[in-house]
Amino acid sequence: MGVMMRIIWSLFLLCLGSTAFGQTLQERASTQIETLGSITQFLNEEALDEVVIPFETATPFEASLGAGDLEDAVLATRIGDSTASQAFRATVDSATGRPDVTPSSDAIGLANLAVSVGADSVADLFTGESGSCSNAFDGPVMSGTHTCSAPLSRDFRTCRETRRVSVNREDQWRCSEEDPAYRKSCSREIAWRCTGTTGGDCLKQALRFSRPVTWNAAGNAVALDFAGSGTGACALREHEVQIDIEDIANITSLSVGDMTYQGVAQLRVNGQNLWTEGSGGGANLTVAARDCGKNCSVEGVYAGSTWIADCGEASQTRTANLELVGEFSQSAPGPNTSLALEPVNATSGVRSNQVTVTLITANTREVGPSLSVNVSGSCCSAFTADLGATC
């Protein structure tokens, strides 16, 4: 068998070294080159001009610098205001200002865990009879080797598992040039003066009542008349009015003065009893029978459990002097408009909260009660501003 193999191998070598193909390798190469023909037709100046378009390289700024000017040019780029200077400084800042990055303990732990279970993960990949395996994990435990060998078959296999933790940083920047913008500011003295109505005429505009009222000539008192409700059994009767104040006025006092009514009266403001005839308490008026002796009973008017008077129709006038100005949330009087135009005219129209005043009477016949409201304070229906010198 060995002799036969040597004979076949010798014949094979003999074939490779013979001229069975008719030419040597050198001869065959020479023949192929000769068949290419001349290429001078392609290498003339006209053909080259058609293929390669001549161009002139633009002269850069650096070409004009001498040996002693390069350092000055570099310094100018570093400290200048050009786009190139901004780009250079941004690049330097990005390179020198990078924070130190240390992989977290979690990342290292994951890598260590992968190595620690590496042997178990790849153990089933290697099988063999009478074989042996070994593990090697050295140095900073970032990778490991699991090696198995079978001496009978001289089979050697190696599996490596590696886990790498990397941190990438990406910087973005751009250069832009903006036109400088300047803002000029200055202060101008403003002198406001009232150019509208004042006094009582202004107060008549500033105070608003929900029912018709009658102002006195001075414009500092208001009379409110309510309709009567006829005759009948003793009963409680209510008469209501709402009041609010415009911001053109600064009301310092607004009080209920004299009241004319039949029977007994009580004043309620925003749901609270603030004045009751013959009683200092704040209980509501009620009508109840009063024992006046043997087989005697009359209807009386009570404030809670306090008897005030027997119910009747006698007319009387009382002065309450009940101050209401504290019930209002007034807006600050004066100008509240833009100062962009000259002359500056102040507009108003903001109104206070609405205050409800209720007159409660208890009687057997009511002709028509009335009450007066006294007003004092400053008021101006329009303002004009005199602006100081320009900036």
Asked whether residue 124 falls in the same domain as residue 251, the answer is no
Could you give the CA distance from residue 126 to residue 118 in angstroms, rounded to a whole number? 13
Reduce the secondary structure of 4-69 to three states and give it as a string: HHHHHHHHHHHHHHCCCCCCCHHHHHHHHHHCCCCCCCCCCHHHHHHHCCCCCCCCCHHHHCCCCC
Helix axes 70-79, 83-96, angle to 10 degrees: 80
Q: Please answer whether residues 134 and 147 qualify as being in contact, where contact means their C-beta atoms are separated by less than 8 angstroms.
A: yes
Residue type, 378: S
- Residue stretches of the chain with pLDDT short of 50: 1-21, 128-129
Closest CA to 216 of 250, 257, 266, 247: 257
- Whole-angstrom CA distances from 349 to 225, 337, 345 are 27, 11, 13
Strands 296-303 and 306-310: antiparallel
Reduce the secondary structure of 159-216 to three states and give it as a string: EEEECCCCCCCCCCCCCCCCCCCCCCCCCCCEEEEECCCEHHHHHHHHEEECCCCEEC
Domain count, the chain: 2
Could you give the CA distance from residue 229 to residue 113 in angstroms, rounded to a whole number? 98
Print the domain residue range for 338. 194-387
Asked whether residue 203 falls in the same domain as residue 157, the answer is no
Could you give the CA distance from residue 328 to residue 322 in angstroms, rounded to a whole number? 14
Which residue has tokens 């749901």? 271
What's the order of all strands across the beta sheet hosting 132-136? Answer: 132-136, 143-150, 155-162
Specify if 1 maps to a domain: no
334-366 in b/e form (b: 16+ CB < 10 A) is: ebeeeeeeeebebebeeebeebebebbbbbbbb
Specify if 112 maps to a domain: yes
Asked whether residue 151 falls in the same domain as residue 198, the answer is no
Cβ neighbours for 45, distance < 8 A, ≥ 6 positions apart: none
Asked whether residue 211 falls in the same domain as residue 339, the answer is yes
Residue type, 269: V
- Which stretches of 60-154 are assigned E, i.e. beta strand? 132-136, 143-150
Q: Please answer whether residues 334 and 206 qualify as being in contact, where contact means their C-beta atoms are separated by less than 8 angstroms.
A: no
End position of a domain, from candidates 118, 147, 162: 162
Could you give the CA distance from residue 2 to residue 10 in angstroms, rounded to a whole number? 13
Asked whether residue 154 falls in the same domain as residue 260, the answer is no
Asked whether residue 134 falls in the same domain as residue 225, the answer is no
Return the pLDDT at 15: 39
Q: Quick one: CA torsion of 140, 144, 149, 154, rounded to 10 degrees?
A: -90
Specify if 29 maps to a domain: no
Specify if 158 maps to a domain: yes
Specify if 64 maps to a domain: no
Specify if 7 maps to a domain: no
Which pLDDT tens digit goes with each residue over 317-360?
999 999 999 999 988 766 655 555 555 555 667 899 999 999 99
Q: Compute the half-sphere exposure of residue 228: CA atoms within 13 Å on the CB side of its CA.
A: 15
Asked whether residue 343 falls in the same domain as residue 204, the answer is yes
Cβ neighbours for 224, distance < 8 A, ≥ 6 positions apart: 209, 211, 213, 241, 370, 371, 372, 373
Asked whether residue 375 falls in the same domain as residue 277, the answer is yes
Cβ neighbours for 248, distance < 8 A, ≥ 6 positions apart: 196, 202, 205, 206, 333, 348, 379, 380, 381, 382
Asked whether residue 200 falls in the same domain as residue 156, the answer is no
Asked whether residue 116 falls in the same domain as residue 156, the answer is yes
Tally of residues, the chain = 391
Specify if 157 maps to a domain: yes
- Whole-angstrom CA distances from 169 to 101, 227, 247, 294 are 10, 87, 63, 107
Specify if 90 maps to a domain: no
Could you give the CA distance from residue 249 to residue 366 in angstroms, rounded to a whole number? 36
Secondary structure (3-state) at 77? helix
Asked whether residue 128 falls in the same domain as residue 258, the answer is no
Q: Please answer whether residues 266 and 322 qualify as being in contact, where contact means their C-beta atoms are separated by less than 8 angstroms.
A: no
Return the pLDDT at 1: 43
Q: Please answer whether residues 265 and 277 qualify as being in contact, where contact means their C-beta atoms are separated by less than 8 angstroms.
A: yes
Dihedral sign (CA 59, 62, 67, 73)? positive
Q: Please answer whether residues 357 and 324 qualify as being in contact, where contact means their C-beta atoms are separated by less than 8 angstroms.
A: yes
End position of a domain, from candidates 162, 178, 204: 162
Asked whether residue 130 falls in the same domain as residue 240, the answer is no
